[in-house]
Amino acid sequence: MKEREWSSPHGARLASAAVGLSLDVDEDGLAVIEFDQPAAQHNQLSPEIIERFLELIQLVHSRADEGQVRGLVVTSGKQNSFIAGVDVSVIAGVRGVTAARAGARQGQLALQALAELPVPTVAAINGTCVGGATELVLACDYRVAADNPAVLIGLPEVQLGIIPGFGGTQRLPRLISLERALPMILTGKSVNAAKARRIGLVDAVVPPPLLPREAARLAGQAKQRGSMMAPEDRRLVRRVRRWLMERNPIGRRLIYRQAAAQVAKSTGGHYPAPVKALEAVKRGLAMKLGDGLRLEADLVADVVVSSESRNLVGIFFMRQAARRARPDDDDASASASVRRLVVLGAGVMGGGIAQLAAYRGLSVRVKDIAIEPLAAAMKIAHRRFSALVRKRRVNAAEMRRAMGRISTTLDYSGLRRADLIIEAVVENLAVKHEVLAAAEAAAGSETVLATNTSSLTVASMATALRDPSRFVGLHFFNPVHRMPLVEIVRGPESSDEAVDTARRFATAIGKVPIVVGDAPGFFVNRVLTPYINEALLMLGEGAKVVEIDRAIEAFGMPMGPLRLLDEIGLDVAAKVTAQLAGVFGDDMPTSGAAATLVEAGRLGRKGGEGFYTYAGKGRPVPHSGTEALVRGEGASPPPATIVDRCVLGMLNGSAKALEEGIVPSPQAADLALVLGTGFAPFRGGVFRYAEERGAEAIRDRMAELADTYGPRFAPAAALGQRRFYPDSWPEKLETL
């Protein structure tokens, strides 16, 4: 990278920007360290960058001792981005506890050198600031953030199965209090600039153009030490409560006990990182800072090499790869393809798609045949935007602008300028044919058409179109605003350009796209159906609802298959099962339990009762009347058998889909199931689970199940291989 000239003619450049770091000192003695890594969208930390940063800090220290530096500002040259933490490929490349500990200590020592500078230090935060970047700004005396939606500050390490390792577990609680720090550390959730100001994480929030000036002003003040109290915490009641809770042993024990209970509830005992993070905070705050940092390095080393972390890091890489159609593709280009969207059908799904697209800045037109559904769709959008306002993700003015991007119509006007049209009408082939043909006639010659069907094939709908090459499937999962996966369905005649437009659109609205083949149920529903059906078969054999669901939850699923059925809707599940029955043939006996319950008026959660009863806000309880209707007279199998029948059935279905080309790779299958069904993320997906359990052991167990329960468990040919992942996994993938 060519070295840039320092803007002040009286200043001096003390270090080159060739490695993405520069140090300049102006005529008044203000030093500025700027992160600006060449040819990168975001700055990231690596061992080389950290080493270089330490060298610059040492240089600042020596100049400060000579009286040539009066203060230091750490900033970024990237637009809307400060530093995006440690490069995850560095974490993936760690081999062994010793190397992990050494990496943590390297970062700690560099940031401790920053904290020990004899002059005031200020972090000027202009955008994304997570992980190691947050730990860096915590080592500064002051932090000032731009009033910019791009500013997010947090410690998301637990989401990768690790813990903050550059001092985050030690400095954050000392700065903003245990009560505020523990949720950030244990859940990995980030805060925006306004909340960071309220909790005392930053000292000021200013308009972006004023960020350099405010940082320079703070650098001219005396050094400050972290306080337990945020600036707004002046009320005596709050100060006394926090003192009582955090400055005495009994109060601290209560806080730690509550945190431990919450961790146990949220992780189910499957994720070691939050447990280690809590240990680092609890033990570290009872020590001097230096001893707490060494403890943190020891604990982070333990989790970095765990299988849970390796699998979570692997999912991170797979998500990145899924967002790229080509090795040279990036997220920035994804938002440029679709600017004008039309949604045909103003139901719950159509309204959800419209709201999400408008939130992401797209112009959206919603079409239906009556005023009432259009009004309902606008209410859905308004309700979800209002929730974002309450969470302070957007303000009232931004909500009004986003709602203004949604228009409605009763006819097909306005379709000619659309980049993408998504059909989301009822699951009726004749209706879809009529709507798609009319939309194609009204659309422009380059407009891509898509269907949000969940059970019909793209090929069956494409017969209504003159040009099926511009037609693809875009299968969203409900609720649209929460579920991260979108299946991009390539029909027999879908062009590469149409598929790529759909993929880019999904990426632009924040979803993770997986391109799958055109088959009944596509991939996720095709695999999920036998998983749920197996639970229903066991229920018919005599297993109890609570025993089935408890065994699957203990395996690591967020909820059991019968509770999941209630969430999906028993009427929806019965319909999909009937539509997909022919896919599985005679090998898989189909349970009629869902249809029986629908006939009895039990539709699941939306109707108040299904396999469970839903009253108030408490945890749902098994419905005794439901069991009486559909449960057999036998005994429940052991939990291990329940798990194997459900999970290995899902694995076998995935392997068959892989053989048939419905899903392109084991990695794509695993990511789709983690994001689309909630398959235990710490296990990495069904193929990763099979690999860790042992391919031969899996095949032997499936042969046993086939002998006992039928040919549906006979191992698919694709399960004959020993490995489904590279030996060096996790690793960066160019594409999925």
Q: CB count, 10 Å around CB of 229?
A: 14
| Residues 421, 344 contacting (CB under 8 angstroms) | yes
7: amino acid identity, one letter: S
How far, in Å, CA of 385 to CA of 380, rounded?
Answer: 9
Q: What is the DSSP-derived secondary structure letter of residue 434? A: H
* Structure tokens, 464: 């209504």
**DSSP for 328-391, written as a single string:** T--HHHHTTS--EEEEE--SHHHHHHHHHHHHTT-EEEEE-SSHHHHHHHHHHHHHHHHHHHHT
Q: Determine the 3-state secondary structure of 12 from DSSP.
A: strand
How far, in Å, CA of 501 to CA of 472, rounded?
Answer: 10
How far, in Å, CA of 392 to CA of 358, rounded?
Answer: 17
Q: Backbone dihedral region of 477: left (phi > 0), alpha (psi from -120 to 50 degrees) or beta?
A: beta
Cβ-count burial of 383 within 10 angstroms (0-12 exposed, 13-18 middle, 19+ buried)?
exposed
Q: Which residues pair with 448 in a beta bridge?
A: 420
How far, in Å, CA of 547 to CA of 639, rounded?
Answer: 8
- Whether 433 sits among the annotated catalytic residues: the reply is no
- The residues near 132 (Cβ < 8 Å, ≥ 6 apart) are 45, 83, 85, 86, 107, 166
How far, in Å, CA of 719 to CA of 734, rounded?
Answer: 25
How far, in Å, CA of 681 to CA of 105, rounded?
Answer: 29
How far, in Å, CA of 571 to CA of 639, rounded?
Answer: 28
| Residues 322, 673 contacting (CB under 8 angstroms) | no
Helix ranges, 188-306 (H): 193-198, 211-219, 236-246, 249-267, 272-284, 289-304
**In what side-by-side order are the strands of the sheet with 191-192?**
81-83, 128-130, 152-154, 191-192
Q: Which of 42, 61, 433, 475 is catalytic?
A: 475
Q: Which residues pair with 83 in a beta bridge?
A: 129
401: amino acid identity, one letter: R
Which of 493, 416, 499 lies closest to 461 in space, CA to CA?
493
Backbone phi, then psi, for 29, in 5-degree steps? Answer: 85, 15
Q: What is the DSSP-derived secondary structure letter of residue 34? A: E
* Structure tokens, 54: 């330490």
**First-last CA distance in the chain:** 31
* Structure tokens, 521: 């149920």
Q: Which residues pair with 365 in a beta bridge?
A: 342, 407
How far, in Å, CA of 659 to CA of 654, rounded?
Answer: 9
Which of 136, 131, 181 lies closest to 157 in space, CA to CA?
131
The CA distances from residue 551 to 325, 647, 672, in Å, are: 38, 11, 23
Q: Determine the 3-state secondary structure of 595 from DSSP.
A: helix
User: 269: number of CA atoms within 13 Å, CB side?
Assistant: 3
How far, in Å, CA of 366 to CA of 451, rounded?
Answer: 14
Secondary structure (H, E, C), 490-533: ECCCCCHHHHHHHHHHHHHCCCEEEEEECCCCCCHHHHHHHHHH
Give catalytic residue positions: 475
